[in-house]
């Protein structure tokens, strides 16, 4: 029912039971659950193995899963996608979410299973196997006594990590913010932004350093990679936009609201903090003469471009998990006609999203936690296609082999286009 609202920011949080330390030890002793022993690829309503972490080495990357516990994979995928909210009538976001966390959504719908019947297909051959928990091998970690030289090197490494933490790190310890030149003559620059919000982020510093280097090198082409960027700070994406235009711009339309909302957690917390939240609401939420409420957000009035704004050719790469703030940015850039978009339709809606403040409330009867946005936030640009995202100028349909072998057809297309233009 919540997903039928068609708002990607409005959703029930996945229910997770809180276990005691003793219960956690008991669960861990069982091992890794069968559904967690693979990384998955969802293509349409088909399900494939991307990475095999089970003890059965015959499950290879690209193997199609036809059934789980006698239920077709297509039926399971359709059920899970029905639970996932997305903006408007978008489809790419749901598939992108499952590609990131299929096992989590599966466990939310189906009960815990200590064994799992799985039917797979390779070419014209089919096989059914029972997967059981994979025992976690205990590794004895020996503490190494560092030499004086190693201690000194460790201090240097930690200092360097602190210097670079403004770029953030993802779960694979790779930077969230990347900048480099893609060729020897520095004519093509590349910026990858995995998120517009993370701890210790300093977007202003990153943009200033990057665009200063681009200007000094005299780069003609700029590739901005927003794949798997689920959004974040409006300020961060607005700041990036200011480096891509050469005249004053308005980033947002007036953000509207249904009223002032106060929710501060427990009854005790509400009693203590409600006056302060109410005061903050008065400052942020305004009411016009007609009785309409609107949020006083930065970006609704004209802003100036940056001094080192880029004037060359811009390419933006999107996919189904380009959502929220990354879609607002892309929509505005699409409105200027300054960029060529490559990839697939963004996961977020072009014309608006409901976000800004996103409280989480406990539903009174079910006790489930519901999160929802309070403000209608719209880019200054608009699309005549209602309920869809930012469409690419060149659509890239990624094949199964691209996912398995980590190929990048989007980048290949852009670099080929740049080469042909020389």
| pLDDT tens track for 346-355 | 999 999 999 9
Q: Which of 56, 42, 156 is nearest to 403 (CA)?
A: 42
Q: Closest Cα to residue 191, out of 203, 199, 200?
A: 203
Per-residue DSSP letter, 298: T
The residue to which tokens 């009035």 are assigned: 301
HEC string for 117-177: EEEEEECCEEEEEEECCECCCCCCCCCCCCCHHHHHHHHHHHHHHHHHHHHCECCCCCECE
pTM reported for the whole predicted model: 0.89
Q: Which has the minimum average pLDDT: 93-97, 172-176, 213-217, 390-394?
A: 172-176
Q: Domain extents for the chain?
A: 31-131, 162-252+297-350+385-421
Is the dihedral angle over the CA atoms 81, 82, 85, 89 positive or is it negative?
Answer: positive
* Confidence check: pLDDT of 242 > 50: yes
Fold type of domain 162-252+297-350+385-421: 2-enoyl-CoA Hydratase; Chain A, domain 1 (3.90.226)
The pLDDT-based confidence of 15 (bands split at 50, 70, 90) is low
Q: What are phi and psi of 90, to 5 degrees?
A: -65, 145
CA angle 281, 283, 285 (to 5 degrees): 55
In sequence order, what E strands does 53-108 have?
64-68, 71-72
Over the Cα atoms of the chain, what is R_g?
24
382 CA to centre of own chain: 23
Q: Residue 45 pLDDT more than 60?
A: yes
Q: Nearest CA to 124 among 69, 66, 54?
A: 66
The CATH number, out of the four listed (2.40.128.640, 2.30.42.10, 3.20.20.70, 3.40.50.150), of the domain defined by the range 31-131: 2.30.42.10
Q: What is the pLDDT of residue 263?
A: 60
Residue 265 has pLDDT above 80, yes or no: no
Q: Which long-range contacts (CB under 8 A, 24 or more apart) does 418-422 make?
A: 418/188, 418/221, 418/313, 421/313
Give the per-residue pLDDT at 350. 98
User: By mean pLDDT, which of 143-157, 245-259, 311-325 is the weakest?
Assistant: 143-157
SS3 11: strand
For residue 384, what pLDDT band results from cuts at 50, 70 and 90?
very high
Q: What is the reported pLDDT for 262?
A: 58
Do 221 and 310 contact (CB within 8 A), yes or no?
A: no
């Amino acid at each position: 029912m919540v997903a039928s609202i068609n708002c990607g920011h409005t959703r029930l949080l996945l229910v997770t039971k809180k276990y005691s330390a003793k219960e956690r030890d008991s669960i861990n002793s069982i091992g890794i659950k069968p559904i967690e022993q693979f990384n998955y690829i969802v293509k349409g309503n088909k399900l494939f193995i991307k990475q095999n972490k089970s003890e059965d080495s015959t499950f290879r990357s690209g193997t199609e899963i036809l059934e789980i516990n006698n239920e077709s994979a297509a039926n399971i995928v359709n059920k899970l996608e029905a639970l996932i909210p997305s903006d408007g009538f978008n489809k790419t976001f749901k598939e992108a979410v499952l590609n990131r966390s299929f096992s989590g959504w599966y466990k939310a719908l189906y009960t815990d299973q200590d064994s799992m019947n799985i039917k797979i297909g390779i070419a014209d051959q089919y096989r059914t196997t029972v997967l059981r928990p994979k025992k976690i091998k205990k590794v004895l970690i020996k503490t190494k006594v560092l030499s004086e030289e190693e201690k000194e090197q460790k201090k240097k490494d930690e200092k360097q990590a602190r210097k670079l933490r403004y770029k953030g790190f993802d779960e694979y310890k790779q930077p969230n913010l990347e900048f480099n030149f893609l060729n020897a003559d520095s004519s093509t620059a590349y910026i990858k932004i995995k998120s517009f919000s993370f701890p210790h982020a300093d977007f202003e510093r990153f943009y200033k350093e990057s665009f200063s280097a681009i200007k000094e090198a005299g780069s003609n082409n700029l590739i901005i990679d927003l794949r798997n960027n689920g959004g974040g700070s409006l300020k961060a994406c607005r700041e990036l936009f200011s480096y891509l235009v050469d005249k004053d711009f308005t980033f947002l339309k007036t953000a509207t609201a249904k009223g002032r909302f106060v929710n501060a957690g427990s009854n005790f917390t509400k009693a203590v903090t409600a006056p302060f939240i109410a005061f903050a609401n008065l400052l942020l939420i305004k009411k016009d003469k007609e009785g309409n409420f609107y949020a006083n957000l930065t970006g609704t009035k004209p802003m100036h471009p940056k001094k080192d704004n880029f004037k060359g050719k811009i390419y933006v790469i999107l996919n189904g998990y380009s959502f929220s703030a990354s879609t607002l940015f892309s929509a505005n850039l699409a409105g200027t006609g300054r960029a060529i978009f490559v990839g697939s339709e963004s996961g977020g809606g072009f014309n608006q999203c409901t976000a800004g403040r996103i409280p989480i409330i406990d539903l009174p009867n079910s006790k489930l936690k519901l999160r929802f946005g309070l403000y209608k936030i719209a880019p200054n640009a608009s699309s005549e296609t209602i309920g869809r995202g930012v469409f690419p100028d060149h659509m890239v349909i990624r094949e199964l082999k691209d996912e398995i072998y980590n190929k990048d057809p989007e980048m290949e297309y852009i670099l080929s286009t740049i080469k042909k233009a020389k």
